[in-house]
Amino acid sequence: MSRSRDAVHEILRQSEAFRSAQDIFTAMRADGSKIGLTTIYRALQALNSDGRVDVLHTDQGETVYRACATDTHHHHLVCQTCGRTVEVDGPDVEVWAERVGAEHGFTAITHTVEVFGTCAPCAKG
């Protein structure tokens, strides 16, 4: 599993955009790998548990993955045209999430924030 996990992680590190498990499968098969789709899903789950990949659920209901550029808590700014993704800090979001949770009696607050838009190159073209 470690070799498969490393191979999947390498594919993700080579891309700025989020990629689906099917896309990873296709890329690895094109390179001659005999890896199966189930193995890719297991590797992605392990990488996510280790904090090495981010998971994003798109508006279309697809789950996509990207190698983390940082190991600290962060959010994503994602281009809806090309998929380019930038990791961003969100201190105001952190404060807001804690405040809203506390107002409603919640503890151990976690959250996921993804911001979608159009990057400058795509807006030009």
pLDDT above 90 (res 63)? yes
pLDDT above 90 (res 94)? no
Q: Which CATH architecture has domain 1-68?
A: Orthogonal Bundle (1.10)
Whole-model pTM: value is 0.72
Q: Look at 28 and 90; give whichever has higher pLDDT.
A: 28
pLDDT above 70 (res 76)? yes
Non-local CB neighbours of 79 within 8 Å, separated by 6+ positions: 85, 116, 117, 118, 119, 122
| Domain residue ranges of the chain, discontinuous segments joined by + | 1-68, 71-125
Q: Residue 1 carries which side chain, given as an amino acid letter? A: M
pLDDT in tens, 32-44: 999 999 999 999 9
Indicate the fold that domain 71-125 takes in CATH.
Dna Ligase; domain 1 (3.30.1490)
pLDDT above 80 (res 23)? yes
Q: How far is CA 123 from CA 34, 114, 116, in A?
A: 39, 19, 13
